[in-house]
Structure formats: C-alpha cells, structure tokens
C-alpha cells in the first residue's frame, strides 16, 4: 500500500490553478493610450494585468493588504531583535506599518515560530514544510483587491540567494520552461525538495500564499530574497504559475539579476532598503495612479 506524499497535494494545487481572464486583459490593454507599443511589463499594462487577475473590467485598488511573514534561522543570533520588531509592528511603529497607515493599506504580521529558529537541513520533515506552506495560505484570508507579500527572516538571505541560483541555473542548462504536474513527475518534487532542504519556513509560506492568491483572484506583489526564492520555485515547476505575481522592488544588484533571469522587472526602479514590506507599499503607490488612465 503506497503512502501519498504531503507534497503531492501541493503539486495538485499547482495543476488546478485558474488562468487569468484574457478577454478583460485585452479590453483594458486597448483602453490605456500609449505612444508606442509598450513591453509586457511596462507600467501601461498594469490595468490590464490587474483586471485579468481580479477578473474585473474595472480593476481597483480600493482594498489592499500587505502580509509580512517573520521567521528565524539557527545561524542568526539576534532573535531578540525580531521580538522587538514584532512588538513595534503591533504598535504601528515600523516603517512598513507607517507607510500602510498613510495609504490606507491593511497590514498583517504572521509569526512563524520565531522562538524556534529553523535549521536548514534535509532532515526537515516534508509534512512540516507542507504545514508551513498551508500556513502561508492564511495571508489571503482578508481578501481585497491585491495582496502584498514580504518576509523578515534574518540569517536566511544567503540560503534564499543560493536556492535562486541553483534553480535558475539548472533551468537555463536544460532549457526547462513548463512542467506537467503529476504524481509521477519527479522534477516538480525535486524542486519542492530543494525548498525543503535549502530554505526555511517563510519561503514555504510565501509559496503557499502565492498559490492561494491565484485561486482567490488576487494579484500579488512580492519583494525580498525569500520572495524571489518562492518565485523561482513556482516558476520552475510551471512558468505560468507566477503570471499573477509581480516583483515590487529589489534591494541590490544581486536581486535585480535574479529578477531578470525570471523574465521580470521590479515596479519600483531604484533599490529600496527601508525595511521589510516597504518596497511593496511603495509599489502600490506607483500602480494606483495608472488606473486613472483607463478610458
């Protein structure tokens, strides 16, 4: 009698993710006047992108939410500073909280066992990694018009950066674009095993949040190394699985290089180093005026 792997449920969810609304996207594309043919990621296409994933010919940003996952790693000794950040966030005294308040954006902080630092190891049980993924799906609970995702997990950036390079370099070598998801498909499980063995809870949570957002018609903005790691994981399994996600900002040239390898570009041009979640908040402010251009 065979036992179904926990990751099999995740592969099934990926296989069932709905597509965007191409008719709405096409209609909105013709409603925004541009001087010349704009590239796919040009700001002129923002209304069409929002409309396609909101499934709404009148896209809106009336209700936006940013969810920040906070986790810790065993190779980081400053857990007490994370506890202080969590306390200040509850008082609205962190940069992203201030930006959200100024714009009327909802802000949620989800703790991921900060007091139990994660040990990066292939000994992390698959069921526990899947539990972190399921926990991440809670980021969509508030609904709204768009979901911003960020993570604060000191000690994890090097792991996330290494994972991004491992996945994307492999894809370049084998020219992999889309994987058909099934129980027998070893590549999808190999990628998920990389997630389990090479990174921590916050990356698994971000993967879950992105998948859940797709099923709830929520376009997504993401930032940070954990966000790029989650994007790399999903893009490797199925290139189209991240069509509803855009990169809000980058912090440095190394992140910018990963974004280019993903075939994307950040919404906010200059590097943003104001703190976790701030890039997403600034990207929301950048996108919002574009909706005024829909005729």
Q: What DSSP assignment string belongs to 88-138?
A: HHHTT-SHHHHHHHHHT-EEEEEE--TTSPBP-STTS-HHHHHHHHHHHGG
Residue 8 resides in a domain? no
Q: Which residues of 60-90 are buried (b: 16+ CB within 10 A; e: fewer)?
A: ebeebbbbbbbbbbeebeebeebeebbeebe
Among 269, 284, 263, smallest CA distance to 219 is for 284
Given a cut of 80, whether residue 157 has pLDDT beyond it is yes
Residue 246 resides in a domain? yes
- The gap between the terminal CA atoms of the chain, to the nearest Å, is 60
| Element spanning 65, H or E | strand 64-70
Which domain range does residue 94 map to? 62-284
> Can you say whether residue 185 is alpha, beta or left, with left for phi > 0 and alpha for psi between -120 and 50 degrees?
beta
Cα–Cα distance between 13 and 223 in angstroms, integer?
Answer: 23
Integer-rounded Cα Rg, in Å, for the chain is 18
- Please give the DSSP secondary-structure letter assigned to residue 211: H
Residue 7 has a CB neighbour count (10 Å cut-off) of 20
Residue 188 resides in a domain? yes
- Mean pLDDT score of the chain: 88
The domain total for the chain is 1
Residue 280 resides in a domain? yes
Predicted confidence band of residue 210 (pLDDT cuts 50, 70, 90): very high
What are phi and psi for residue 220, nearest 5 degrees?
-130, 140
- Write out pLDDT tens, residues 14-29: 888 988 888 888 888 7
Residue 258 resides in a domain? yes
CB 120 within 8 A of CB 196: no
- Cβ neighbourhood burial of 121 (10 Å; 0-12, 13-18, 19+): exposed
Residue 45 resides in a domain? no
Length of the chain: 295
Given a cut of 70, whether residue 39 has pLDDT beyond it is no
Residue 19 resides in a domain? no
CATH code, domain carrying 208: 3.40.50.10210
- Cβ neighbourhood burial of 15 (10 Å; 0-12, 13-18, 19+): middle
Report the largest interatomic distance among the alpha carbons of the chain, rounded to a whole angstrom: 63
Predicted confidence band of residue 83 (pLDDT cuts 50, 70, 90): confident
pLDDT reported for residue 276: 94
Higher pLDDT, 163 or 1: 163
């Amino acid at each position: 009698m065979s036992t179904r792997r926990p990751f099999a449920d995740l592969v099934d969810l990926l296989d069932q993710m709905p597509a965007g609304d191409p008719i709405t996207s096409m209609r909105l594309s013709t409603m925004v006047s541009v001087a010349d043919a704009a590239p796919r990621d040009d700001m002129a296409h923002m209304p069409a992108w929002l409309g396609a994933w909101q499934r709404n010919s009148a896209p809106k940003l009336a209700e936006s939410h940013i969810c920040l996952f906070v986790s810790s790693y065993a190779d980081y000794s400053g857990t007490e500073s994370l506890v202080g950040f969590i306390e200040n966030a509850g008082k609205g005294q962190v940069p992203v909280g201030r930006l959200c308040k100024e714009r009327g954006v909802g802000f949620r902080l989800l703790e991921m066992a900060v007091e139990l630092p994660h040990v990066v190891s292939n000994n992390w049980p698959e069921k526990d990694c899947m539990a972190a993924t399921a926990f991440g799906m809670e980021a969509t609970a508030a609904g709204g018009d768009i979901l911003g995702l960020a993570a604060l997990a000191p000690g994890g950036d090097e792991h996330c950066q290494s994972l991004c390079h491992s996945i994307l370099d492999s894809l370049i070598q084998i020219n992999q674009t889309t994987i058909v998801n099934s129980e027998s498909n070893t590549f999808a499980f190999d990628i998920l095993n990389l997630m389990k063995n090479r990174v921590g809870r916050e990356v698994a949570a971000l993967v879950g949040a992105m998948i859940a957002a797709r099923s709830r018609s929520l376009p997504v903005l993401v930032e940070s190394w954990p966000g790029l790691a989650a994007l790399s994981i999903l893009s490797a399994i199925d290139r189209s699985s991240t069509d509803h996600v855009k990169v809000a900002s980058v912090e440095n040239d190394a992140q910018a290089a990963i974004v280019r390898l993903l075939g994307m570009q950040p919404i906010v041009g200059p590097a943003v180093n104001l703190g976790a979640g701030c890039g997403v908040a600034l990207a929301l402010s950048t996108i919002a005026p574009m909706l005024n251009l829909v005729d």
